[in-house]
Every structure is written in C-alpha cells, then in structure tokens.
Amino acid sequence: MPLRRTFITGIGVVSPHGDDLNDVFDRVFAGESSVRKVPVEANGSSCDMLLSPVDFEPGHLIPRLSGRFMARATKMAVVAAHHALEGSGLLVSGAGPAEAGVYIGCGLGGSDQLQDHYERFLADPPRSLSVAGALRIMPSGPASHISMQYGITGPTVTYSIACVSSAVAIGEAFRAIRHGYLDTALAGGTEAQLNPGALAGWRELSVLASEHESGAEASSRPFDAQRTGLVLGEGAVVLVLESESAARARGAELLAEIVGYGVSSDAYNLTEPSPDGQARAMRLALDDASVAGERIGYVNAHATGTLLGDRVEAKAIRDTFGSHADKLAVSSTKSVHGHLIGAASALEAALTVRMLQTGRIAPTANLTDPDPECDMDFVPLVGRDAPELEYALSNSFAFGGSNATLVLRKAMAS
C-alpha cells in the first residue's frame, strides 16, 4: 500500500493563554507572557512559585457524574478534544468518529489526585478516601475518557515519556494513518503538575527558574545569557489528524500537513542531553519527510531555558543543518507559556501550525542578552512576517534522553 498523506483538520487547546487557538497564537506572537507568581501551600506554609497556570472551568462540557472520575489533566484533555472535534466538523450530536484512534501523551497523570489521596491518608486522624481516587490517578485516564466521552472505539493509547509524550503521540498517530491502519485520530497531550508534591520534586532538581529582575513574566528566558531555568505550566492540546482521502471526501479545511517524524534515544544520561541524539531525531524526521534541510524555514525549539539544555539543542541544530543553520529562524515559545511537560509538544506543534497558516513566526520573548554559545537567529523579542514559510520542524526532548521531531508543511491548495 502506498504511503498516505496526513493532514491536521482540527486543533483544540486549553492553555495558559486561553482556549481559542487564534487568540492564543496572537498573544504568543505578541510576546505576551502567561508566567506569574502563584502561592503554593503545603504543610501549613506557603511560598510563591513562578508558574504558568490555566484558568480552567469545564462547565457543561463534562457531565457531573463523569467528572467525578477525572483528574484535572483528564478534564482539560476532554475539553481540548471537544474543541478539536468541533473545529474539524467531526463532532455530531456530541460524538466523534467511531472508528478513530486516540493517542494522548501525559507525563504524570492525575498527580493532583495523588497529592490529595496522600494528604487524606496521612492526616491525623486519616480522612475518608474517594473510591474513584485510584482511577483518577492513572496516566491513561485522559485517553480513556476521550474515548468514552465521544464514542470513539478505535485504539486508545497513552504515551508517558516525560517532555516528548505528546510529540510521540502525534507522531505515532501520523504513522498509523500514513500506513493505512486508521483514517482519523485524535492526538496530543495533557498535563497538570502544578501541585505541591510535583512542584517540590521539580524544585529539588534545581532546574526551575528564579524571578528575573524585571518581573515574573520575564523569567522564562530560553537562549538568554541570564536564563536560570524552566517555568512549569499546564494545559492540554488535541489535534485531529486525517488521511488526505478522508479529509477531502468531506471537504474538511486542511490546517497543515504532517510529513515527517523522527525519534531517537541518547543512551547517555538521565538528565544531561546529548546533541548527537537530538540531531539524529531531526535527521530521521527530515529523511522520513523526504525533505532537504535547506527547505526548512523555521524550527520551534524545545529550549526550556536551562543553561545546558539550550546550548545542546543549539549545537544539535547546527550539526543537523550545517551552513543552513545560519538561515533558519528558530524560536522557543516556552518563553511565554512555560513548559507544559506532557502537553508541551502538542501546544508547540499547534502554534507551529498557526505560523505556517499565517506566515508569521513567533519570537523568543525575553531574549535581551543572547548567550554567545547559542549563536543563531532566535527571533529575539519581536515576531516577524514569513510569507514564504512552507516547512517547519517542532523539536521535543526529554529527561531519559528521549528525542522526537515533527516536520510540518503548510497546507497547499489542491
């Protein structure tokens, strides 16, 4: 069977910048930061942490009874799936396409519910536990509830690979459609780790940013010499993927095409990235897309704002593209929305789709003092017009040395 083309026909977001992708992109393009200081309470004390939270209320989109069995990450995923299906025109009488697949990435599952469970269990005296507690904690909860909520009976798969979770989910859904296993899939990721237990773990790794002198909103600073670490965020993003024949048969709007996907493992170090592994993922993705590196006009970098991570990625991009690296526009939208862990790749892919659609490249905000060891065009501070942009990469790299790259193409008129 010949390989089939795969298009994105719907995108649903629940993000720190809102739930309308067009508005979210406009705010990201303008360099508007969602990072702020949030009080975090634990063990009777409180401290402010730099976070990028979501103002989220599912409302009528989640039935009350079903919601009792959902963690925050699951609720956000179900709502994002609703927006994606509705935007694609595939939501009919509250249901999605029955034979579709569901491919969702999630790093930690219902960590908020795990936190609550332990607090109740360890209280003196112990407080009553919810019968649904264990079910809300499962990382597979978001994918399962999307399937049940929208009557989707195809494969329901969860990928939990830290920060590449949703990139792999999207990439594997793309492969399933391209090779003829499915015509339609919902793919993306979700994460809600902004609770004391999870945040304490991240803090102990010494990778979280400190507040910048100009304010909390300027504290996520990828590629900047004054960067101090990453800012954790939360949210959910779901993409509707369809084979070309299925999408064109129903006259669907084609938002962008996925043309390549590459994955690799560093096999090197749990927390220290390797430029060789990252470059291998990019090269595999380009080979998979049958696209020469010189045709790529933009890279949405994984760049989280850590000292080592940004330098390693900059080197990996240079190793991959050679002299063309000097002509590439590269930016990190994490500078304004933070790092959404299991949902990060999906949000960044969605924003890259909008860049291809609009011919506008979002900037790396807060990049006022570029690190001399990260010497490329990182689109500092101000977004730019790129009307000729046709191909873009979206990079995702994770603790454990997992790497994933997606190649996206502007949807061309038939």
Quickly list DSSP for 204-270.
Answer: HTT-BPPPBTTBGGG---TTBTT---B-EE-EEEEEEEEEHHHHHHTT----EEEEEEEEEE--S-S
The reply to whether the predicted model has a pTM over 0.85 is yes
Q: Which CATH architecture has domain 260-410?
A: 3-Layer(aba) Sandwich (3.40)
Q: Tell me the mean pLDDT per 10 residues along the chain, length 414.
A: 94 98 98 97 86 95 94 98 98 97 96 81 77 86 98 98 98 98 98 95 96 98 98 98 98 98 97 97 98 98 98 98 98 98 98 98 98 97 98 98 98 76
Q: Do domains 6-249 and 260-410 have the same CATH topology?
A: yes
Please list the residues that pair with 18 across neighbouring strands: 15
Q: Which of 17, 82, 212, 339 is catalytic?
A: 339
Given the residues 163, 212, 337, 374, select the one marked as catalytic.
163
Q: How far is Cα 66 from Cα 336, in angstroms, rounded to an integer? A: 33
Q: Is 339 a catalytic residue?
A: yes
pLDDT of 41 reads 86
Q: Quick one: pLDDT at residue 414?
A: 57
3-state DSSP call for residue 14? strand
- Please confirm whether the linkage preceding 125 is cis (ω < 30° from 0): yes
pLDDT of residue 413: 66
Token pair for 346: 């999906």
* 64 burial level (CB within 10 Å; 0-12, 13-18, 19+): exposed
What pLDDT shows up at residue 142? Answer: 98
Q: For domain 6-249, which CATH number applies: 3.40.47.10, 3.30.420.40, 1.10.3720.10, 1.10.540.10?
A: 3.40.47.10
**How far apart, in whole angstroms, are the C-alpha atoms of residue 257 and residue 244?**
9
Q: What are the boundaries of each domain within the chain? A: 6-249, 260-410
Which residue is catalytic, options 83, 302, 337, 374?
A: 302
Asked if residues 291 and 408 have their Cβ atoms less than 8 Å apart, the reply is no
Q: Which of 244, 218, 242 is CA-nearest to residue 231?
A: 218
